[in-house]
Chain A
Amino acid sequence: MKAKRASGATKKFERALAAAPGRKYVLRLYVAGATNRSRHAVLRARELCESEFGGNFELEVIDVYQQPILARDGQIVATPTLVREFPLPVRRLIGNLSNTAELFVGLDLGTRGKTIH
């Protein structure tokens, strides 16, 4: 019984791994209010996702002023913070996303980032 379940889990995991490249990137951007810094971060994030992931991404923008509980649940300290929820591992990119090199390292887009710039 146990062995069956275990083998089932393994299969699931293998399927998930195989499916990963095709799955959408899941990103959340936490900002604090409609400041210039927030606006800049949102624009940069949209731009990056469009250019790097094509249409294959999910970007959620959260204003911590509006939803402080989400800030707590997302363990947000600094704003703006772009959290890459998927693929794992979780990455937190703090700042207004103007440092492109660090941004690409953070999102594991190293090589492709270089080709753009």
Chain B
Amino acid sequence: MKNTPPKSVSPAVRFPKCPTGISGLDEITGGGLPRGRPTLVCGGTGCGKTLLAAEFLVRGATQFGEPGVFMCFEETDAELRINVASLGFDLGGLVRRKKIVIEHVRIERNEIYETGEYDLEGLFVRLNYAIDSIGAKRVVLDTLEALFAGLPNEAILRAELRRLFRWLKDKGVTAVITAERGREQLTRHGLEEYVSDCVILLDHRVHDQIATRHLRVVKYRGAMHGTNEFPFLIAEDGISVLPITSLGLNYNVLNGRISTGIPRLNAMLGGRGFFRGSSILLTGTPGTGKTITAACFAQASAKRGERVLFFSFEESPNQIIRNMRSVGLRLEPFVKSGLLRFHATRPMQYGLEMHLAIMFKEIAAFRPRVVVVDPITSLIAAGTDFETKGMVTRLIDYLKSEKITSLFTSLTHGGHALQQSEIAMSSLMDSWLLLQDFEGNGERNRVLYVIKARGMSHSNQVREFVISSRGIDLVDAYIGPNGVLTGASRLAQAARETAEALDGKQEAARRKRLLERKRATIEQQIAGLRSEYEADEVELKRMDEQVGARARVLSSERTELGRLRHADALVTAGADATGPNRIIEND
């Protein structure tokens, strides 16, 4: 990691370099091949030596104004033209414009007889003539080792080759010499001992029936260089080497947030959804709704008017569109308006590197704000876990540096355990959502957790994930003494609770009614007693009045009697005191 591009500038100044124009190779070598010196490119059959050499020449002629000589020992120039035409290089045109000379050296072993000492001056003369005829700055010798097959006397050959490399240096041309890979040494005939400045090794390995090309700078005298093995690929526009660590961890971040397309999920993620430019991992067992969640996110992004690139490794675009329609997600208007683009390939179709390069290319061409990869685990089939992680790292690095929000779905294979590969991958991700099947009471239900969400407060709650024809909704799962309940059991529990609540209400009402009745009864009783009491009171009053009246009548009668008898007032008073008692006794 110390070998960052800014630091490699100083050796580049000290050590003149010749840019190859091959994407990625100049980054690894810190600027290109050693200028004015020979570079050895070795590798097995079909690993791209000739194409690399040809691209070096063509780019030199077209991009850097350096004409070149292609001296081929194996192919005729017509064959060579056809071969490099597959990379989109017009060698014929460059030859006509005197930018490139193709010099075919034909050596037929069966017509050669050695009759004594010789040297390779003939070859030198031809090379010199070709270089001088166009003022070439670059030379390719492909494959010099054909000389060993064609000419007898290895001792002479070796001496002459040593002289040739010396001569190339003196001539001041930047040369690329290709050589077949040997069994125990880098090249079959030990050419590496003559070329001491720069050696590049190409390799084409097959792993699980899928081939991946690798490039390694074995040696680069006097300059810092990446020593790792870098995957490279040959596409229709030339070779591209993909340095894993070329970008590093220094991208800018964005603080904006974007909706997940599911309001409840936004709420779980601090209320505002994912960070823009972050990477999101969505893991789940089969059938937990990963693609739907991803499509939901894609649709929400397209609705905001952002371009979305959807890489599908399992379903065809039409199938996804049809399936999403069944849950109320309409994707085809966005496909038609060009906001949503699908890119569907089978994971087994190419090696990992090819996938990566195609993805890079698609992203660079479409310039999306959001990228969905569904599912990233399919690519594991196209490479080893380690390679996949390397690839995802590079992809995420690239996406982050481009400020593209990315969502990767990942398939877990049954069970509860989070697989090792996912844990490895998850460390690269900013947010991790887990979709899970929840089995019980004879049914399966989906639940969703937010396992992590860097840089935001997020819910720790499990939510039930309900997919209906109206789309996705997240529902609070029932969490009670019986554990987490989802689906029908959640509904049953809810119904039970409702019923219980209703029962309680009815009981309360009944008691209230009872009390009411009691109160009414008591009030009635009170009213009865009161009326009785009132009746008594009235009676008493009436009696009092009766007594009063009788007393008055009696006294008036007595007064009348006294008046008649002429009795005195004393008798009247005595009769007045005893009178009432008598009357009460009479009642």
Contact = CB atoms under 8 A, between A and B. Distances in A.
Interface of A: 30, 32-33, 37, 41, 64-65, 68-69, 71-72, 75-82, 89-99, 102-103, 105-106
A71 B117 contact: no
A71 B119 contact: no
Which of B105, B118, B119, B120 gathers the greatest number of chain A CB atoms within 10 Å? Answer: B118
Given A68-B128, A72-B126, A77-B105, A99 B115 contact: yes
B125 A68 contact: yes
Interface string B88-124: 0000000000000001011110011111111111110
A93 to B, nearest CB: 5
B129 A96 contact: no
A33 B125 CA distance: 11
Contact of A77 (B111, B113, B114, B122): B122
B335 interface: no
A78 B119 contact: yes
B113 A68 contact: no
Contacts of B111: 89-92
Interface in B209-244: none
Given A30-B122, A32-B122, A79-B119, A94 B107 contact: no
Interface string B113-149: 1111111111101101110000000000000000100
Please list the 7 inter-chain residue pairs (A to B) with the smallest Cβ-Cβ separation, ordered nearest first. A106-B113, A95-B116, A32-B121, A68-B129, A76-B122, A98-B116, A96-B116
A50 to B, nearest CB: 17
Looking at A37, A92, A98, A105, which has the most chain B CB atoms within 10 Å of its CB? Answer: A92
B151 interface: yes
Nearest to A30: B122
A105 B114 CA distance: 10
21 contacts: A32-B121, A33-B121, A37-B117, A37-B118, A64-B122, A68-B125, A71-B129, A72-B103, A72-B129, A78-B121, A78-B122, A92-B108, A93-B114, A93-B115, A94-B113, A94-B114, A95-B118, A96-B118, A99-B114, A103-B115, A105-B113
B129 A94 contact: no
Nearest to A32: B121
Nearest to B103: A72
Given A30-B122, A79-B121, A94-B151, A102 B115 contact: yes
B147 to A, nearest CB: 7
A46 B443 CA distance: 102
Contacts of B112: 92-94
A52 to B, nearest CB: 14
A102 B151 contact: no
Given A72-B103, A106-B113, A78 B120 contact: yes
Contacts of A32: 119, 121-122, 125
Interface of B: 103, 105-108, 111-123, 125-126, 128-130, 147, 150-151
Contacts, number: 103
Given A72-B103, A77-B120, A77-B147, A98 B115 contact: yes
A76 B115 CA distance: 15
B114 A95 contact: yes
Nearest to A76: B122
Contacts of A30: 122
A77 to B, nearest CB: 5
A96 B114 CA distance: 9
Contacts of B106: 75
Among A69, A82, A94, residue most surrounded by chain B Cβ atoms (within 10 Å):
A94
A103 B108 CA distance: 17
A46 B115 CA distance: 15
B115 A78 contact: no
Contacts of A80: 118
A95 B117 contact: yes
A19 B132 CA distance: 44
Given A32-B122, A72-B126, 9 more contacts: A68-B128, A71-B125, A75-B105, A77-B123, A79-B122, A92-B111, A94-B112, A98-B115, A98-B116
A99 B113 CA distance: 10
A80 B113 CA distance: 12
Contacts of B130: 72
B122 A93 contact: no
A78 B118 contact: yes
Contacts of B121: 32-33, 64, 78-79
A79 B115 contact: no
A71 B130 CA distance: 11
Nearest to B156: A78
B475 to A, nearest CB: 82
A65 B117 CA distance: 19
B129 A106 contact: no
A84 B302 CA distance: 76
A36 B115 CA distance: 16
A68 B121 CA distance: 11
Contacts of A93: 112-115
A69 B120 CA distance: 16
Nearest to B105: A77
Contacts of B120: 77-79
A82 B111 CA distance: 11
A71 B126 CA distance: 7
